[in-house]
Amino acid sequence: SSGINAEYGGDMGAYYPPYQGSPVGAAAVTHAIEKEIVAEEISFLLHFGDLSYARGRGYIWDQFMTQMTRVASQVPYMVGVGNHEYDHIAGGEKDPSGAQAEGFHPNWGNFGDDGGGECGVPTMHRYIDPGTGNKVFWYSFDYGLIHVVQFSSEHDFRPGSRQYEWLRNDLRNVDRTQTPWIVVTSHRPIYTSQDSEGDHIVSRHLRMALEELFYSYRVNLHLSGHYHSYESSCSVVSGDCVDPGSGTVYIVVGTGGYGLEAQDYIYYPWSQTQNCKDHGYSKVVVNETHMHVQFVTTPHRTVKDNFVIPIWK
């Protein structure tokens, strides 16, 4: 079928008191998405990590699940894990993802204990995965013309790792006659220009590990959060802009409701649009030849980024 509409975002949080985050942001984004559903303008929703920000507090998970009831009861709502669902430095024996010891802690990374002891357990037991990968931690599915891959930036993603081999095999077996579009998500960004040294180092390692794979299998769009801001790239290969439809477009959309970033941006020629002033979400509409991408801000659903990606040449 054509005209598949999807919405994407990350870094939301619960907005019921006594939550300490940004109540206006999470409430406004949730209500805007509810309006899109009533208008039948979306087919499914992806949330790539930093869901409730409960960090071990069960009552906040309850608040967040209540908050998302009108969304999740009407359209498929598929989630991935972020640092605030998973990262840990103790309790690894309870980690349901099968990671070794205390998980992924390379000496160049900033993977700490942001999960508050959850180790991914509440996320795994609250959400259904399609059974195509490693539970809720990484998986893929087809929806209409789109093949969606949610991988975990909180687990080892380097060549030779369990997750990398799964990802390569998944991309290798996509039938582009049935699903001509590939959308890949992770919590942490692969391309970002915001000025944060630790996360920049992680993004460079993600790029070194995965960009060649994305190019080889013609990934159309990569979406991430982690930064509580919005940024979109050109079609890019190895840091250089290429003709539209000849490289992957990278979008950071961590504007789901948590407090927005205050860092400056570093100039990179591949960075097209930057916004750390508005909460919102990405909306994507595809047909057989084009992908239409928007950044929709709240509370008035104002479009502040708007572009088209042609099918990979």
The predicted structure's pLDDT at residue 244: 96
Using the predicted structure, report yes or no on whether residue 1 has a pLDDT greater than 50. no
Using the predicted structure, report yes or no on whether residue 225 has a pLDDT greater than 70. yes
The predicted structure's pLDDT at residue 312: 92
76-98 mean pLDDT: 94
Using the predicted structure, report yes or no on whether residue 2 has a pLDDT greater than 60. no
pLDDT for 186-218, tens place per residue? 999 999 999 888 899 999 999 999 999 999 999
Backbone angles phi, psi at 118, to 5 degrees: -75, -35
The predicted structure's pLDDT at residue 303: 96
Using the predicted structure, report yes or no on whether residue 270 has a pLDDT greater than 90. yes
pLDDT for 243-266, tens place per residue? 999 999 999 999 999 989 888 899
pLDDT for 16-55, tens place per residue? 654 444 456 898 899 899 998 888 878 999 999 999 999 9
Q: What is the mean pLDDT of the chain?
A: 92
How buried is residue 263: exposed, middle or buried, by Cβ count under 10 Å (0-12/13-18/19+)?
A: middle
| Inter-residue contact 226 to 9 (CB < 8 Å) | no
Using the predicted structure, report yes or no on whether residue 164 has a pLDDT greater than 60. yes
pLDDT for 136-149, tens place per residue? 999 999 999 999 99
Q: How confident is the model at residue 6 (pLDDT cuts 50, 70, 90)?
A: confident
Using the predicted structure, report yes or no on whether residue 62 has a pLDDT greater than 90. yes
Displacement of CA 249 from its chain's centroid (Å): 14
The predicted structure's pLDDT at residue 42: 87
Using the predicted structure, report yes or no on whether residue 79 has a pLDDT greater than 80. yes
Q: How confident is the model at residue 4 (pLDDT cuts 50, 70, 90)?
A: low
Least confident stretch, 9-18, 140-149, 178-187, 215-224: 9-18
Give every strand in the sheet of 4-9, ordered side by side: 77-80, 44-48, 4-9, 280-286, 290-297, 302-310
The predicted structure's pLDDT at residue 254: 95
Query: What percent of the chain stands above pLDDT 90?
Result: 81
Displacement of CA 163 from its chain's centroid (Å): 17
Q: How confident is the model at residue 277 (pLDDT cuts 50, 70, 90)?
A: very high
pLDDT for 105-161, tens place per residue? 999 999 999 999 999 999 999 999 999 999 999 999 999 999 999 999 999 999 999
